[in-house]
Every structure is written in C-alpha cells, then in structure tokens.
Amino acid sequence: MSKYKSSKKWVKEHIADPYVKLAQKFDYRARSAFKLIEIIETLKINFASNKIVVDLGSSPGSWSQVMRNKMILPNGNINGRIIALDILSMEPISGVDFIQGDFRDVEIQEILKNTLYNQLVDIVISDMAPNLTGIASADSARVQDVCELAMSFSVDNLKSNGVMIVKAFHGAGFSQIVHLYKKFFKKVVEFKPKASRDRSSETFLIAQNLK
C-alpha cells in the first residue's frame, strides 16, 4: 500500500473513530483520555483525599485533563497537585504544573523532584512511547528503557501504597519488563483498554503497593 493510500485510510478511520468523537465532545485533547478513564474506573481509585500525581510524557495533555477532572473541587481548585512532564511543549491546563524537558536527562529529573518539594507521590501515570524504528530488537530496547526509567522514578518517589500506570508494548522484552516490575511492586497487572486499537500491541501495566 502506498504512503498516500495508507495516510488516506488512517484519516478515514480517525474521523470515524468513536473515541475521537467522544474526545471532541468532552473537550479532551486526545482519544487516549478514555484509556486512562477506563483504567481509573477499573482500579476504583478514590480521589476524595488530596492526591499528588505525576504525568510522564504528558503532551498533548489528555491524561492530565482526566486527572484534573477527577480532582477538581466545586470551587474550581484542585484537590491535590498534578505535575506533568514532556520533551514536547504542552498547552497550559489550569491547575497543572508543566515541566518541559527530556525525562532521560538527570537534570530534568532533579527539577521534577524539586517541584515535588520532597513530597512522595500517590499516582504516577506514563503514556510515554519511544520513537519506533520498525526494527524489532531496537524497538524492544527503546520500550524497555522507557519503562525502566518510569519505574525507577516511581520506586524512588511513590508512597508505599502508590499506583503506577505505564504504557508498554507486547513483543520481545515485554516479559522481562513485567518480571522487573514484580520485583518492586506487590501487584502488577496487564490491562488493554477498549480505547486501544485492536491492531495495536500496546498494553498498560498497573503496578500497586511497593514492596
């Protein structure tokens, strides 16, 4: 299939996608918002008390929007804190602190920790995905690197009863990622939301309660 036909097919599917229409209806910046909404509902996360949330790979901001909507009070304030980080720019979201930088950069990680004021985090969410090459061995290493970075941050900064939600991809190296997560968390489950495209190999790891 030519690039033109492939692009035309993608546009047609995108326009017809029910989650794209829902995102437009509810003013979410991307359809991926509904992946996180389903995960939150499945986990039954309680937002009654103050939560500190870190959103890694946040741009364009749909996951931060979901968290804001879950944490917003009647007076418009946020019941807790949301800190978002991405190498790409992100349009401001009321109540969300944004750091632009490469999460792989140690200096950016320090800025993030300083922004937390040395407080531990309740929830880490990560929709980060590396640029894939189509070469299985290289892509597997890149995915594993991103998942390990997110896990390392979570192990250092999550509360003992904290939750981590991270995007991963089935394929070479996936079982090693799951095994690694199980070393540090008491409960690790795989979850593929309905909003994930059928042909996509993406899945989400939900890790709870540090060991």
Domains of the chain: residue spans and CATH: 34-210 (3.40.50.150)
Based on the residue annotation, tell me whether 167 is a catalytic residue of this protein.
yes
- What is the C-alpha to C-alpha distance for residues 66 and 145, in angstroms, rounded to an integer? 26
Amino acid, single-letter form, for residue 7: S
| Residue-by-residue pLDDT tens, the chain, 211 positions | 444 444 444 345 555 678 889 999 999 999 999 999 999 999 888 887 899 999 999 999 999 999 999 999 999 899 999 999 999 999 999 999 999 999 889 999 899 999 999 899 999 999 988 776 665 666 677 888 899 999 999 999 999 999 999 999 888 889 999 999 999 999 999 999 999 887 788 999 999 999 9
| pTM for the structure as a whole | 0.89
| Structure-block tokens of residue 117 | 């004021």
Residue among 24, 44, 43 nearest 33 (CA): 24
Which residues lie across from 124 on neighbouring strands?
54, 164
Q: Which two tokens stand for residue 149?
A: 């970075």
Residue 131 token pair: 């640029």
Encoded tokens for 53: 């949330």
pLDDT the model gives residue 59: 96
Output the pLDDT for position 139: 65
Cβ within 8 Å of residue 93, ≥6 positions away: 61, 64, 65, 68, 84
| H or E element, residue 114 | helix 106-115
What does the chain come to in residues?
211
Q: Which two tokens stand for residue 179?
A: 């095994």
List, as residue ranges, the binding site for S-adenosyl-L-methionine.
61, 63, 86, 102, 127
Question: Which two three-digit tokens encode residue 167?
Answer: 């995007």
pLDDT on residue 136: 61
Angle between helices 33-43 and 18-25 (to 10 degrees): 90
The catalytic residue among 3, 35, 167, 182 is 167
Query: In this predicted structure, what is the pLDDT of residue 45?
Result: 86
Query: Which residues define the annotated binding site?
Result: 61, 63, 86, 102, 127
- From the list 65, 100, 96, 97, the residue with the least C-alpha distance to 86 is 100
